[in-house]
Chains A and B, each alone.
Chain A
Amino acid sequence: MEERELRALIEEVRVGTLNRRRFVQTMVGLGLTAPLTAQMLSSAGVAHAQTKVQYAPTKRGGGGALKVLWWQSPTLLNPHFATGTKDQDGSRIFYEPLAAFDPDGNLVPILAAEIPSIQNGAVAKDGKSVTWKLNKNVVWHDGKPFTADDIVFNWEYAADAATAATTISSYKDIARIDKLDSHTVKLTFKNPTPFWADGFCGYRGMIIPKHVFEPFKGAKSREAPANVKPVGTGPYKYVDFKPGDIVRGELNANYHMPNRPHFDSIEMKGGGDAVSAGRAVVQTGEYDYAWNMQVEEEIMRRMEQGGKGKFETSPSGNIEHIQCNQTDPNKEVDGERSSLKAPHPFLTDPAVRQALSLLVDRHSVQEEIYGRGGQVTANFLNAPSKYASKANKAEFNVEKANQILEAAGWKKGADGIRAKGDKKLKMVYQTSINAPRQKTQAIVKQAAAKAGIELELKSITASVFFSSDAANPDIYSRFSTDIQMYTTTQASPDPQTFMEQFASWEAATKENKYQGRNITRWRNDEYDKLFRAAETELDPVKRAALFIRMNDMVIQNVVVVPVIWRTKVQAVSSRLRGVEISGWDNDTANLFNWFRA
């Protein structure tokens, strides 16, 4: 292999189209040793983890205007009403939580003076309370001091069902908050809470001022003028907001971190589409940063040739996966298809599910379709890395799938489709309309045909598929087909909520208007026990082991087949520094550190 070819391969690893392991395999195949190959990659600048950039500016301001693009733009700027990432990201310019989550899921103090821990005595040993010390140098944009009263108020505001705050689940399990002094609060939970950093941390923890929002608590919350005119503690102060179009802010001269922020003003422009947003950053340099780049790998590479910017990735916990329906979608019981009372005729057979998992060619899907937008994985729970199981591997093996089915008594008929008794391996495979998903469907269908499984592909408009309209049979939670595929988001670095979607009490049924989160309707007593144990386990190591065990149960029983572990992709100007995107927090979470070189 020539040097030029070798360099091209290394570049592919760098941009993410070739995965690291494949590269190492190729090199080892050429007679190089594995450590040498790893060294080749690291000397070419492909490190395992991103290195942190030091904040260079020595004074506040002077950086000019920071221009960022969010192709879905914020529609409101009250973090407690945020319906999506866009609203939270916009709010985060002005509001801050007590602590933010870094890319590894660790807490970084923002409005807190320090992070509570068992070691410093701020986290109670019984897991029922936590004490936060607040930063004393913080003032709101209108000059009023930030105090413990604001913390108490945010809890009352969000936990009040009449407010209808989207953050309610992070606050409703707090039994009470005691103000110990003007800058210390003690949170007492209703139950032992291993993950005490849900409220007041990250994007669900942004804190709004009591003196501005107090008259608008509960049912009157919609009328607060500050819902669109934020008064926060963040690095930038409100200037202008047009819902769905633009958010503008100016430097906060009283910001609590020294020498920050670097930019004199910020402008978050919305609308349009991901590709042209990427173009405005990477190709023309009109903008400094663009969020959520769902752009095909090839287009990204072409845009990057100009050298004005790059598409960067950061890990998240989101997982594109195929679900196996444990109930019969074709049989109606008491007016309900996919009812818990009707088990699936053949997907309940472990052999069929095993075979299915071997028929998903994840490496091809990653290389041909997702590029740097995803990684191959065998696990459902992948991040933060301490929760990732090492027991599973992503295998694609048509031969083995055939053997398993054969051994389980599924014989090929004259039409090439396997059958056992009157049951035939014919399945309907549905997903939402989205080009990468249709391409994935085609890859899986092709492989399945080779193993004697016939897949009928079905694709549904995203607005219908993901809607909550219980009357529509095509919504994903009614699961009216045999298998289906979509991405589940892991919003928190703590996997508890994420893993609850396989608990039996969460099964989606007609009775709960299909609002249960267990879509596969898989029910397993052992899993339920593990989950209940994790809910109250206070030892972080034991707790991680429980979640890993839960993941392994889901994978080894093939309740779902993980396809791609999604990464967040963003376009960053080559002059912008300090951007550190965490999969557990807003893109704008460390905005105070951004500067221009």
Chain B
Amino acid sequence: MSRYVVRRLLIAVPVIFGISLVLFTILALAPGDPFEELATNPNVPPEVRMHLRSQFGLDDPLPVRYTRWLTSMVRGDWGFSFASRVNVDTLIMQRLPTSLFVLGSAQLLGLLIALPIGTYSALRPYSVFDQVATTLAFVGFSLPTFFTGLVFILVFSIWLDWLPFIYRADIAATGWRWWWENARQAAMPVAVLGLFQGATLTRFVRSAVIDVIRLDYVNTARAKGLSEGVTVVKHVIRNALIPVVTLLALQIPGIFTGAVITEQIFRIPGIGSLLITSILANDTPVIMAITFVFSCLVVIFNLIADLLYGWLDPRIAFR
């Protein structure tokens, strides 16, 4: 087992290195200039832009820039944003809590919807409940979040005037009021993301449970007189959840990058909106840091998912 982990980690190093090289090259080749706005402003002489470019090392050849980025990244220095001249790690840390809160809650909401509905549908396949749930799930994951987001805003903010549609990370209130305000503003984005997630997961849970419920050992459990509840919870769900848990583990890196579109619609200051504004501003160090950390998380969580798999199902051996 430990040999397996070590080997996987060693393989991960060249993979991450390769990813960083590809990312860096693509960003360097992409058109655009972080100081573009200065170029079209007649009041800013071109020398200022030239000076900034050389000061920030943008005029150096690509290999030099890449090596410099890589060495400082290894030392834990993520560089600074060209747009705000603030260190990239500071920027990310400002945004991370919001992203974690909104996406974490949405993930939780998705699970809370998917587990009971998916299981119940699987226990009574093709019943009215299953038909309705399946239809809704299809509708749910067919509707893109930008559409449901706008519909929610229209209904709950504009027609009913119940919820604010602009998310503020720091609410000037304390105690219960703070909690209340936060819940109000998070309600729509969490619902939009959670329902989408829930719809996808419901289908997944349902098929996993259906696969398991037909197996012989479930019949054995029933035959030896276990109650239906115990059979389902202890024998069916536990085994059916193995693929679901893996899926969730693979989705965790996604929480880090945030939900780009939903964050944009509700003006949530999360990592997703930081990424999109950085891309629009050609702010390479920030884009690089976010995409690179995301790639690392994907690699790491893939490993974790594999390990989790083995832990949940001891029949799987690591070689």
- What chain B residues lie within 8 Å of A565 (beta carbons)? none
Which among A204, A242, A284, A466 has the greatest number of chain B C-beta atoms within 10 A? A242
Which among A65, A222, A463, A515 has the greatest number of chain B C-beta atoms within 10 A? A463
User: Is B33's beta carbon under 8 Å from chain A?
Assistant: yes
A269 interface neighbour in B38, B46, B168, B281, Cβ under 8 Å: B168
Give chain A interface residues in 215-238, CB to chain B under 8 Å: 219, 222, 227-228
- What chain B residues lie within 8 Å of A466 (beta carbons)? 36, 39-40
- B39 and A271 form a contact (CB under 8 A): no
- A204 and B43 form a contact (CB under 8 A): yes
- B81 and A75 form a contact (CB under 8 A): yes
| Cα distance, A245 to B169, chains bound together (Å) | 9
- B168 and A497 form a contact (CB under 8 A): no
- B158 and A244 form a contact (CB under 8 A): no
- B267 and A272 form a contact (CB under 8 A): yes
- What chain B residues lie within 8 Å of A204 (beta carbons)? 43
Give chain B interface residues in 241-273, CB to chain A under 8 Å: 264-265, 267, 269, 273
| Cα distance, A290 to B144, chains bound together (Å) | 28
Q: A75-B81, A75-B84, A243-B91 are in contact. Are A463 and B48 (CB under 8 A)?
A: no
Q: A246-B170, A284-B165 are in contact. Are A498 and B36 (CB under 8 A)?
A: no
User: Is B164's beta carbon under 8 Å from chain A?
Assistant: yes
Give chain A interface residues in 267-297, CB to chain B under 8 Å: 267, 269-273, 276, 279-280, 283-284, 286-287
A284 interface neighbour in B48, B81, B158, B264, Cβ under 8 Å: B158
User: Is B63's beta carbon under 8 Å from chain A?
Assistant: no
- A269 and B166 form a contact (CB under 8 A): yes
User: Is A175's beta carbon under 8 Å from chain B?
Assistant: no
- What chain B residues lie within 8 Å of A75 (beta carbons)? 81, 83-84, 281
Binds A, one of B2-10, B49-57, B104-112: B49-57
User: Is B231's beta carbon under 8 Å from chain A?
Assistant: no
Nearest neighbor of A501 in chain B, beta-carbon distance: B42
| Cα distance, A491 to B166, chains bound together (Å) | 31
How many residues on the B side are at the interface (Cβ–Cβ under 8 A)?
51
Q: A164-B48, A271-B277 are in contact. Are A245 and B94 (CB under 8 A)?
A: yes
B55 interface neighbour in A164, A240, A243, A489, Cβ under 8 Å: A164
- What chain A residues lie within 8 Å of B161 (beta carbons)? 284
| Cα distance, A271 to B281, chains bound together (Å) | 13
User: Is B11's beta carbon under 8 Å from chain A?
Assistant: no
Give chain B interface residues in 74-115, CB to chain A under 8 Å: 80-81, 83-86, 91, 94-95
User: Is A76's beta carbon under 8 Å from chain B?
Assistant: yes
- What chain B residues lie within 8 Å of A165 (beta carbons)? 48
- A286 and B169 form a contact (CB under 8 A): no
| Chain B 17-60: CB-based contact to A (< 8 A → 1; otherwise 0) | 00000000000000111011111111111111101100100000
- What chain A residues lie within 8 Å of B40 (beta carbons)? 466, 468, 489
- A286 and B165 form a contact (CB under 8 A): yes
- What chain A residues lie within 8 Å of B80 (beta carbons)? 222
| Cα distance, A284 to B165, chains bound together (Å) | 10
B168 interface neighbour in A84, A246, A515, Cβ under 8 Å: A246
User: Is A81's beta carbon under 8 Å from chain B?
Assistant: yes
B59 to chain A, nearest CB (A): 12
| Cα distance, A331 to B39, chains bound together (Å) | 26
| Chain A 253-275: CB-based contact to B (< 8 A → 1; otherwise 0) | 00000000000010101111100
| Cα distance, A286 to B185, chains bound together (Å) | 12
- B33 and A467 form a contact (CB under 8 A): yes
| Cα distance, A183 to B43, chains bound together (Å) | 29
- What chain B residues lie within 8 Å of A472 (beta carbons)? 31
| Cα distance, A467 to B39, chains bound together (Å) | 7
- What chain A residues lie within 8 Å of B139 (beta carbons)? none
Which among A161, A169, A500 has the greatest number of chain B C-beta atoms within 10 A? A169
User: Is A201's beta carbon under 8 Å from chain B?
Assistant: no
- What chain B residues lie within 8 Å of A498 (beta carbons)? 42
User: Is B172's beta carbon under 8 Å from chain A?
Assistant: yes
Please, could you name 13 A-B residue pairs with CB atoms under 8 Å apart, sorted by A?
Answer: A76-B85, A162-B51, A164-B51, A169-B44, A204-B43, A222-B85, A243-B94, A244-B83, A245-B95, A271-B277, A467-B31, A515-B46, A517-B42
Which 9 pairs between the two chains have the least Cβ-Cβ distance? A468-B39, A243-B84, A245-B269, A75-B84, A75-B83, A271-B267, A515-B46, A272-B267, A164-B51
Using CB atoms and an 8 Å cutoff, list the residues of chain B in contact with chain A.
Answer: 31-33, 35-49, 51-52, 55, 80-81, 83-86, 91, 94-95, 153, 157-158, 161, 164-166, 168-170, 172, 264-265, 267, 269, 273-274, 277, 280-282
